[in-house]
Amino acid sequence: MSARASNPEYVNARVRSRRAVLFADEDYRKLIRMGPSEIARFMEETEYEREINALGTRFSGVDLIEYALNRNLAKHFDDLLDWSEGRLYDLIGRYLRKFDVWNVKTIIRGIYTETPTEEVSTDLIRAGELPDSTLDRLLEVDEIDDVIEILGGTVFYEPLSEAYQEFEETGALVSLENALDREFYEHLLDDLGRPQEGPDALYVEFLEAEIDFLNARNALRLARSGADLDPAAYYIEGGVLFTQAELSRLVGNYDELVDHIADSGRYGDRLGGALARLREADSLIQFEHAMDAALLEYADTLSSIYPVSVSAVLSYILAKEREVENIRAIARGREVGLTEAEIEDELVIL
């Protein structure tokens, strides 16, 4: 933990100003009616201007939108780490490590499928803690164990080396990816304990909610797919909704699982509508979107309770990610010719 004083006031002022320029609901409604090239033109008139212009000569259509979104996201999140100091840096950094996980996963997948380096490189979101130089070195290697070697000294080294043996036996990437995910989530709550009040308590509460939702999502997916996988392997510690034993038991019984989520005092009310829908329909996607929206709303409330703390920053990170995902969903949806109503179902709007 960094000992320097942190500067939440400065970071908050900048984050709030950036939050104000995120797309509003009306913008999404406009975007839904546009084709990919129109969306790109629309984005050119907003804060994505620089990215669209930089990439416009090399890509077009949906690819252009996607890469511009990734680059813009990376720029903003890099800024967050640039601005913040001390403890604030620490708290933001450990959340943004999510993108390190994403990048390492992408690189490993690229090696596994023997995708050309440039293609993998455009898919990276250079926002996490790993410096660009490390990512570039990772892009150059051809073997997965070299990747693990380069990551020596980072938090990912140990879990990856352990998972690598399993990977060699089975040849499935799942073990490596799972190791990365677990490492990320289990480090999130490191040395924070369970504070009872103040901004830290909310930070912890929010992350617990995220872990809970992730566990619930994995459990629902497993329950739905009916695949014969060990749910314990996907369980992530740190949540409050499930214990490992509960999850293993509930996966087999879909209705009970939904009941368990509904009964928990913390989320039952928040997800009420989504749970009802989940019971009657069999749309898992709807439920996942409802969870995303609930998490976003959760983060929003957090940011107004302690205005000058890390929670406003977290709330911005989430909102920005959601925007990027929404625009991507619209662009992809238009590309494959979904109707407006179908695309609207895919969006997460509060």
Footprint of other proteins (CB under 8 A): 7, 9-14, 17-18, 83, 308
Closer residue to other proteins (CB): 7 or 117: 7
* Smallest distance, other proteins to C-beta of residue 216, A: 37
- Dihedral sign, CA of 272, 227, 157, 76? negative
Smaller CB separation from other proteins, 193 or 198: 198
User: How big is the chain by its Cα radius of gyration, in Å?
Assistant: 20
* Nearest residue (CB) to other proteins, 70 versus 84: 84
Nearest to 126 by CA among 117, 113, 135, 114: 135
Minimum distance from CB of 22 to other proteins (Å)? 13
User: How many C-beta neighbours within 10 Å does residue 103 have?
Assistant: 23
Between residues 9 and 149, which has the closer beta carbon with respect to other proteins? 9
Amino acid at 305: I
C-alpha 99/C-alpha 127 separation (Å) is 6
Nearer to other proteins, 13 or 305 (CB): 13
Amino acid at 210: E
| DSSP structure class, residue 317 | H
Cβ at position 30, least distance to other proteins in Å: 24
Q: Which is nearer to other proteins, 13 or 233 (CB)?
A: 13
CA dihedral 236, 239, 242, 243 (to 10 degrees): 70
Give the integer Cα–Cα distance in Å for 255 and 259: 6
Between 9 and 230, CB nearer to other proteins: 9
* Residue 7 beta carbon to other proteins: minimum distance, rounded to whole angstroms: 6
Q: Closest separation between CB of residue 23 and other proteins, Å? A: 17
Q: DSSP class of residue 23?
A: P
At its nearest, how many Å lie between other proteins and the CB of residue 2? 18
User: In the chain, helix, strand, coil percent, each to 5?
Assistant: 70, 0, 30
**Which run of H or of E encompasses 116?**
none
Closest to 219 measured CA to CA, from 266, 253, 270, 181: 253
The CB-of-16 to other proteins minimum distance in angstroms stands at: 8
